[in-house]
Amino acid sequence: MKSNLIKSAIALLLCSLFLSSCVTIRQGEVGVKRKFGKFSDRGYTEGLRTYNPLFSRIIIVSTQTENLEVGLNIPSKEGLNIFSEVSILYNINPKDAPELLRNIGTDYEENVILPVFRSAVADVSANYFAKDMHTGERDNIEIAIKEKMMNYLDDKGIEIEAVLLKSIQLPQSLAMAIEEKLEAEQQAERMEFVITQTEREAEQKRIEAAGIRDAQIIISEGLDQRVLQFKSLEAFEKLANSTNAKVIISDGDMPIILNDK
């Protein structure tokens, strides 16, 4: 009986040791073994990996796209502080994971990404006015911050995919001034459209009037006395061939028809 209990205890101990020395690495992750405090040069891909828990362990690093959200005040060119929520999308290069853990550690977000981001934001935003962060210039600001960060992080195995400025909150006085300016610009554009449309209609009428005038000039120039006499003879001939009774009065040039009714 005692022998069976000993065997069961040994089996349970061995099972516990085996389970504690295994780790599952999923897709989108890389595992880096640290043995006696030293990281290996090669990372492990997905699958079940074993290690000796007495003197080693496997640290798992995500290689998927991560979203690091930050809220901070962004300085503008005119010295205003614009609060914004920012999303930093980044990923870790799997082959660089051992070097990243060796040189920076697991807290790379706090130790590297955030400080680099705050420095890049300060450098870039100082070249833009506060109103630019609320217009189409926002895309240029985001791209410039991303490129500034990559200049420092590229050789560290961290790739910045995008920097997204969200929920930008301008000072109330500046926001009202921008809205008033945009409204005035829209009104000016509407007035310009109306003026342009009116000018086009006026130009069209001038063209039509000029065409009528030119047509009248051409007709008046072509209707000389001989043409009128020829047309009069044609009218007399048609009247003569008509079977209807008519009274025709003429001065010799143009006929005037009086209906018998």
Pairing of strands 158-169, 81-92: antiparallel
pTM score, whole prediction: 0.58
Mean pLDDT of each 10-residue bin along the chain, 261 residues long: 55 47 82 84 79 78 93 84 90 92 91 94 88 82 94 90 86 62 75 84 84 72 62 66 61 54 49
Looking at residue 205, what is its pLDDT?
84
Helix 137-153 × helix 114-125 angle, to 10°? 140
Three-state DSSP state, 53: coil
Phi-psi region of 78 (alpha: psi -120 to 50; beta: other; left: phi over 0): alpha
Closest C-alpha among 143, 133, 88 to residue 112: 88
Question: Which residue spans within the chain are E strands per DSSP?
Answer: 22-25, 29-35, 38-39, 47-50, 56-62, 66-75, 81-92, 158-169, 246-250, 255-259
Distance of alpha carbon 41 from alpha carbon 32, whole angstroms: 8
Report residue 240: phi and psi, to 5°: -65, -35
CA trace torsion 206, 207, 209, 215 (10° rounding): 160
Which DSSP state fits 77? T
pLDDT in tens, 71-119: 988 888 888 888 889 999 999 999 999 999 999 988 999 999 999 999 9
Give Rg (Cα) of the chain: 45
Other residues' Cβ atoms within 10 Å of the Cβ of residue 33: 20
Query: E strand or H helix at 212, and its extent?
Result: helix 172-222
Q: Number of C-alpha atoms within 13 angstroms, CB side, residue 228?
A: 11
Distance of alpha carbon 172 from alpha carbon 210, whole angstroms: 57
Looking at residue 112, what is its pLDDT?
94
Residues 6 or more apart whose CB falls under 8 angstroms from that of 74 comprise: 81, 82, 83, 84, 121, 125, 133, 165
pLDDT in tens, 232-258: 667 666 666 666 655 555 555 555 555
- Mean pLDDT score of the chain, rounded to an integer? 78
Closest C-alpha among 126, 117, 119 to residue 78: 126
